[in-house]
A and B are shown apart, each in its own frame.
Chain A
Amino acid sequence: MPAERRSLRSNNKSDTSSSANGEKANSNSQSSGAKDKAPTTRAAANKAKSAPTKKDAKGASNGSMKEDDQSHTNGSKSTENGVNGSEDVEMGEDTAGAPTSSSNTSKDRKSNEKMTVVVPPTKGSRSSGKDKEDVTMEGVEDGDVENTEPEVDPATKAIQDIKSNFTLLERAVAHFDPRFTLRVLRSISSMRKHLTPEVLAEVIVETYSASSSTASFLLEALGQTNAFENAPASSQMEVDSDKKPIPKETLAEVDVYLSILVQIYLFDQREIQKGVQFSTDLIERLRALNRRTLDSLAARVYFYYSLFFEQVAPLPPSPAAAVTTIRQPLLAALRTAVLRKDVDTQATVMTLLLRNYLSTSHISQADLLISHNPFPVAASNNQIARYMFYLGRIRAIQLQYTEAHSHLIGATRKSPASQVARGFYQASHKLLVVVELLMGDIPDRAVFRQPALERAMHPYLLLSQAVSVADLDGFLNIVNTHSETFRKDGTYTLILRLRQNVIKTGIRMMSLSYSRISLRDICLRLGLDSEESAEYIVAKAIRDGVIEATLDHEHGFMKSKEVGDIYATREPGEAFHERIRACLALHDESVKAMRFPMNQHRLELKSAQEARERERELAKEIQEGDMDDEDAGGDFDAI
Chain B
Amino acid sequence: MSDLQSLVSELHGAIERKQFDVANDLLSRSKRALLLQNALIPTSSTPPQLVVLARQVLELGALASIRQTDAQLFTRYYQQLQPFYDLERHAGLPGQSSSEVDFSTSQRSKITGLYLLLLLSMGDSANFHTVLEGLVEEASLKGGRVEDDACIKYPVELERNLMEGSYDKVWRETKSERVPSEDFGLFSNVLVGTIRNEIAGCSEKAYPSLPISNAKNLLFLESEGAVIEFAKQRGWILRDGRIYFPVEPEATARSEKDILLASGTVIENALGYARELETIV
- A→B interface (CB under 8 Å): 314, 317-320, 361-364, 367, 397-400, 487, 490, 492-493, 496-497, 499-500, 503, 528-530, 532-533, 535-543, 549-554, 570, 573, 577, 580, 584, 587
- With contacts A318-B96, A363-B133 known, is A542 near B141, CB below 8 A? no
User: In the bound complex, what is the Cα–Cα distance between A320 and B168 (angstroms)?
Assistant: 42
User: Could you write out 14 A-B pairs with CB less than 8 Å apart?
Assistant: A318-B89, A363-B134, A367-B130, A533-B168, A537-B165, A538-B206, A539-B202, A540-B202, A543-B206, A549-B206, A551-B206, A553-B207, A554-B214, A584-B276
Cβ of B212 to closest chain A Cβ, rounded Å:
11
User: In the bound complex, what is the Cα–Cα distance between A543 and B200 (angstroms)?
Assistant: 10
User: In the bound complex, what is the Cα–Cα distance between A615 and B167 (angstroms)?
Assistant: 75
Is there an interface contact between A499 and B137, defined as CB atoms closer than 8 Å? no
| Closest partner residue, chain A, to B273 (CB atom) | A580
B262 touches which of A362, A528, A554, A573 (Cβ 8 Å)? A573
Is there an interface contact between B130 and A536, defined as CB atoms closer than 8 Å? no
User: In B33-60, which residues have CB < 8 Å from any A CB?
Assistant: none
B166 touches which of A492, A536, A553 (Cβ 8 Å)? A536
Is there an interface contact between B90 and A399, defined as CB atoms closer than 8 Å? no
Residues of A within 8 A of B203 (CB): 539
Is there an interface contact between B211 and A554, defined as CB atoms closer than 8 Å? yes
Bits for B118-139, please: 1 = Cβ < 8 Å to A, else 0: 0000000111011011101110
Interface contacts beyond A533-B166, A552-B207, A573-B262: sample of 17 additional A-B pairs, CB < 8 Å, sorted by A? A317-B137, A318-B89, A318-B96, A319-B90, A320-B86, A398-B130, A499-B164, A533-B169, A536-B165, A536-B166, A536-B202, A537-B166, A540-B164, A540-B165, A540-B198, A542-B206, A577-B269
- With contacts A399-B126, A493-B133 known, is A314 near B207, CB below 8 A? no
User: In the bound complex, what is the Cα–Cα distance between A32 and B207 (angstroms)?
Assistant: 77
Residue of A318, A541, A549 most packed against chain B (CB within 10 A) = A318
Q: B260 in the interface, Cβ–Cβ < 8 Å?
A: no
Is there an interface contact between A397 and B129, defined as CB atoms closer than 8 Å? yes
| Closest partner residue, chain B, to A394 (CB atom) | B130
Query: Secondary structure at chain A's binding surface: helix, strand, loop or mixed?
Result: helix
Is there an interface contact between B132 and A536, defined as CB atoms closer than 8 Å? no
Is there an interface contact between B90 and A320, defined as CB atoms closer than 8 Å? yes
Cβ of A367 to closest chain B Cβ, rounded Å:
8
Q: B266 in the interface, Cβ–Cβ < 8 Å?
A: yes
B130 touches which of A319, A320, A364, A552 (Cβ 8 Å)? A364
| Closest partner residue, chain B, to A553 (CB atom) | B214
User: In the bound complex, what is the Cα–Cα distance between A363 and B129 (angstroms)?
Assistant: 10
Residues of B within 8 A of A314 (CB): 90, 93, 96
Cβ of A443 to closest chain B Cβ, rounded Å:
21
Q: B231 in the interface, Cβ–Cβ < 8 Å?
A: no
Residues of B within 8 A of A362 (CB): 134
Residues of B within 8 A of A550 (CB): 206-208
Residues of A within 8 A of B164 (CB): 499-500, 503, 537, 540
Query: Secondary structure at chain B's binding surface: helix, strand, loop or mixed?
Result: helix
Is there an interface contact between A536 and B167, defined as CB atoms closer than 8 Å? yes
Q: B150 in the interface, Cβ–Cβ < 8 Å?
A: no
| Closest partner residue, chain A, to B269 (CB atom) | A577
| Closest partner residue, chain A, to B259 (CB atom) | A570
User: In the bound complex, what is the Cα–Cα distance between A535 and B206 (angstroms)?
Assistant: 10
Is there an interface contact between B130 and A541, defined as CB atoms closer than 8 Å? no
Residues of A within 8 A of B175 (CB): none
User: In the bound complex, what is the Cα–Cα distance between A554 and B217 (angstroms)?
Assistant: 12
Cβ of B231 to closest chain A Cβ, rounded Å:
15
Residue of B141, B166, B280 most packed against chain A (CB within 10 A) = B166
Residues of B within 8 A of A399 (CB): 125-126, 129
Q: B140 in the interface, Cβ–Cβ < 8 Å?
A: yes
Is there an interface contact between A539 and B165, defined as CB atoms closer than 8 Å? yes
Is there an interface contact between A553 and B218, defined as CB atoms closer than 8 Å? yes
Cβ of B275 to closest chain A Cβ, rounded Å:
10
Cβ of B85 to closest chain A Cβ, rounded Å:
8
| Closest partner residue, chain B, to A573 (CB atom) | B266
Is there an interface contact between B211 and A536, defined as CB atoms closer than 8 Å? no
Q: B29 in the interface, Cβ–Cβ < 8 Å?
A: no
Is there an interface contact between A363 and B130, defined as CB atoms closer than 8 Å? yes
User: In B235-281, which residues have CB < 8 Å from any A CB?
Assistant: 258, 262, 265-266, 269, 273, 276, 280
Is there an interface contact between B93 and A318, defined as CB atoms closer than 8 Å? yes
Residues of B within 8 A of A490 (CB): 137
- With contacts A319-B86, A364-B130, A553-B218 known, is A529 near B169, CB below 8 A? yes
User: In the bound complex, what is the Cα–Cα distance between A317 and B142 (angstroms)?
Assistant: 11
Q: B210 in the interface, Cβ–Cβ < 8 Å?
A: yes
Residues of B within 8 A of A580 (CB): 269, 273
Residues of A within 8 A of B13 (CB): none
| Closest partner residue, chain B, to A537 (CB atom) | B165
A397 touches which of B130, B199, B205 (Cβ 8 Å)? B130
User: In the bound complex, what is the Cα–Cα distance between A266 and B160 (angstroms)?
Assistant: 48
Q: B186 in the interface, Cβ–Cβ < 8 Å?
A: no
User: In the bound complex, what is the Cα–Cα distance between A66 and B203 (angstroms)?
Assistant: 62
| Closest partner residue, chain A, to B205 (CB atom) | A543
Q: B201 in the interface, Cβ–Cβ < 8 Å?
A: yes
User: In the bound complex, what is the Cα–Cα distance between A487 and B144 (angstroms)?
Assistant: 11
Cβ of B79 to closest chain A Cβ, rounded Å:
10
Residues of A within 8 A of B126 (CB): 398-400
| Closest partner residue, chain A, to B266 (CB atom) | A573
Residues of A within 8 A of B258 (CB): 570
Is there an interface contact between B168 and A536, defined as CB atoms closer than 8 Å? yes
B136 touches which of A367, A492, A537 (Cβ 8 Å)? A492
User: In the bound complex, what is the Cα–Cα distance between A577 and B214 (angstroms)?
Assistant: 47
Cβ of A531 to closest chain B Cβ, rounded Å:
10
Is there an interface contact between A539 and B205, defined as CB atoms closer than 8 Å? yes
Q: B87 in the interface, Cβ–Cβ < 8 Å?
A: yes
Cβ of B256 to closest chain A Cβ, rounded Å:
14
Cβ of A393 to closest chain B Cβ, rounded Å:
10
User: In the bound complex, what is the Cα–Cα distance between A493 and B276 (angstroms)?
Assistant: 44
User: In the bound complex, what is the Cα–Cα distance between A490 and B141 (angstroms)?
Assistant: 12
Cβ of B4 to closest chain A Cβ, rounded Å:
25
User: In the bound complex, what is the Cα–Cα distance between A331 and B230 (angstroms)?
Assistant: 54
